[in-house]
Structure 1
Amino acid sequence: MKLLFVGTNPENTGAASHFVALAQAMVEAGHQVTAVVYPDGLIWQGLASSGVHRYPAQFRNVFDLRGYIAVLKAERQLKPDWLVGNFGKEYWPLILVGRLLRIRVALFRHRTPAMRPLSARLIPRLAQRFFAVSEYARQAYLDRGIPGHLVRVLYNPVDTELCRPDAQRRSEILRSLGLDEETILLGYTGRMHNGKGIFPLFEAACAAMAEQPRLHCLWLGDGPGARTLRERAAADATAGRHHFLGWIHDVQPYFSAMSMLAFPSIATETFGRVSVEAQAAGVPVLGSDIGGIPETLEAGVTGLLLPPGNVAAWRDAILKLCDPSLRMSMGAAARDYVQKHFSTPVIASQFLQILASD
């Protein structure tokens, strides 16, 4: 099958990571993939060594002729069976190109906020396939009146080899932080703002540290709440046990250093790719029981689901996972779970089946 992926959003988002992983998954499955993407952005760089031919372009809006020219150029070279889009501003351009050239269109929706009324009504009906990235997101679209038969679910694929556990990486990262092998490292990675639950997590971690002297926190990311979080940590008695590395472009190596990952959002998440990537590295996950997060782990087996923002519950869960035997059993189950449900071969196969279905 020939697939033309179009993703010209320049931002480093989960949707961008999904775009790269799905395109690579289809290449690995033996399909021919070309991509029209923003030059030198996350997607462009992520596909650099993937075997995907890239065309630089950007759709600033539905009237941006330069974007259309790039798509038409790529189409002439590839003659694709499907146009695949990942970002809202490209929905209408791809539908228009698809209608003009008689090419089927598959669109992914990564967010649950409502589209504009006309788009919300027409886009799922005009695209030949319309995908949600979780059952939670699918239900949100159905609740707004989109017929159920129009919305398919396809989870984010994860390269399990890229995220595999690595004992040497763990040792190197711990040494760089001035920590020894006996350290229990609670990790957080992502945007830092109130909705991500970073402040209740901080309180819970500090309370757990009072009972577990080997517990440390690794904070990866940046955002409007980062400065306040650093200030609170600096003023706390546990200051030396919080390690802030800022924004890290490639977080996969750091999963190997973590003993557990916290995904503490108090605002709704559509999915939760970081949860899946951590489990692929054999790391159990503490996740908020909200939105699409529960779909990313097997509660009680690969991690724990917790009430969002409940400091006492999170403290107790952190301390529970300080038990090495529990961490080991959950970590082993976590990697197996990801292999079965989110690995690139599994998702590529599901994507192909959905595209081929009537």
Structure 2
Amino acid sequence: MPANCRGIRLLWVGTNPGGGGTETHMITLCRALAEAGVEVHALVHPEGKIAAALVGTGVQVHYGRFRNSADPDGLRALWRALRALRPQAVVGSFSKEYWPLALLSRAAGCPLILFRHMDLRLRPSTRWLLARWPLRLIAISEYLRERLLAQGIPAARVEVLPNPLFLSDFARDVEARTTARQRLGLSPEDFVVGFGGAWHRGKGVFVLADAIDAAHAVNPRIQGLWLGGGAHEPDLRARLAGREWQHVQGWQNPVTPWYSVMDALALPSIEPDTFGRVCLEAQACGTPVLGAAMGGIPESFAPGQTGLLLPPGDGDAWRDGVLRLASDAALREGLGAAGPSFAAGFAAEQIAQHFLATLASA
């Protein structure tokens, strides 16, 4: 830990109840900082996924919630925490909490750090805050940084800190691969293309379904594996119904063993993702990636080294990419073998040190 960060106390605020990428980022970095010796406090939703993940770790959990940026209960909970803890810095991840954090952290005399995760059009008030208020603004990818600059945020204001990953949570699981594939009726020779995450059109799930069907028509060993759910789940389930080569599993917890069941992880988004965390997790498990050349996805793997970069929305290209990996064992073995080394560059312990260096330079 940088010497001038020893003994630092952080208050990280994130009262969203969900369990998506922003929440996972907060959980991972809070844990990594606590394990590095930082005194980390988290103000979280009492019934949310963040609280469930942090209770019992080295992070000290406090409860509150912001239904919106003017929620009086949330404001009171935040002010109580600030007064009681007197942190050396306050950190926030969710845009609905930006303004409460800005106003109350300033009233308490605490430096403010805000993470930006979503590629959404900034409201004028939020744009002004991020461009003018005394704070540190961190984007989770170079793509998102460029998007923020395009909306008028000064370049000097936006830093990049990559998504952290606890490598110890991700490894090749040969037993899980054998067991799950047997349960699904898959043979060792079958080539399984997996998708994990939100099932909505912007993620390219229907493009991928068509591509797997088309590839299966050429090579019957090609199979699809679907993990997740979401807004377009009924439509996707109807689209996949009756195709015995499309294996629909829904949400799985934990998802980690399923990366070893796959022969390739696909992220075929047709709308920009700011990053591709599932790609990073799959590589850590030694699974090659098929990723769309869209948004921050190309930053989440090494095209040509740990996976293949494919044009978004081009069903023929995705079919051909699947067929190429299925027919070239040496290629996919090489891509898979390089994955853990790439993922190691996103180790949570390493990212935590980068974050502490950012604090030290403030």
TM-score band w.r.t. shorter chain: over 0.9
Distance 2:320 2:92 in 1: 42
AA matched with 2:306: T
1:291 matched to 2:291: no
AA matched with 2:295: G
1:192 matched to 2:199: yes
Q: 1:35 aligns with which of 42, 54, 68?
A: 42
Q: 2:120 aligns with which of 97, 113, 138?
A: 113
Alpha carbons 2:83, 2:108 under 8 Å: kept: no
Residue 324 of structure 1 is matched in structure 2 by 329
1:141-152 paired onto structure 2 within 5 Å: 141-152=148-159
Residue 346 of structure 1 is matched in structure 2 by 350
1:160-179 paired onto structure 2 within 5 Å: 160-179=167-186
- 4+ residue runs over 4 A deviation: none
1:23 matched to 2:30: yes
Structure 1 residue 176: deviation in Å? 2.5
Q: Please say which of residues 85-94 and 320-329 is displaced more in the overlay.
A: 320-329
Q: 1:247 aligns with which of 245, 251, 266?
A: 251
Residue 235 of structure 2 is matched in structure 1 by 228
Q: 2:146 aligns with which of 116, 139, 142?
A: 139
Structure 1 residue 316: deviation in Å? 1.2
List alignment gaps of at least 5 residues for structure 1: none
AA matched with 1:40: E
- State the Cα RMSD in Å: 1.5
Structure 1 residue 136: deviation in Å? 0.9
Q: 2:269 aligns with which of 260, 265, 269?
A: 265
Q: 1:315 aligns with which of 306, 314, 319?
A: 319
Distance 1:127 1:176 in 2: 56
Distance 1:42 1:183 in 2: 35
1:58 matched to 2:58: no
TM norm structure 1:
0.94
Distance 2:121 2:236 in 1: 31
Q: Give secondary structure in 2 for the equivalent of 1:171.
A: helix
List alignment gaps of at least 5 residues for structure 2: 1-7
Superposed CA offset, 1:314-358 (max 9, x none) = 111111212222222111211100102x11012111111122214
1:99 matched to 2:106: yes
Alpha carbons 2:265, 2:279 under 8 Å: kept: yes
Distance 1:127 1:18 in 2: 23
Count of equivalent residues: 354
1:180 matched to 2:187: yes
Residue 46 of structure 1 is matched in structure 2 by 53
Distance 1:124 1:43 in 2: 29
TM norm structure 2:
0.93
Structure 1 residue 76: deviation in Å? 4.2
Residue 3 of structure 2 is matched in structure 1 by none
Distance 1:153 1:337 in 2: 18
Alpha carbons 1:124, 1:151 under 8 Å: kept: no
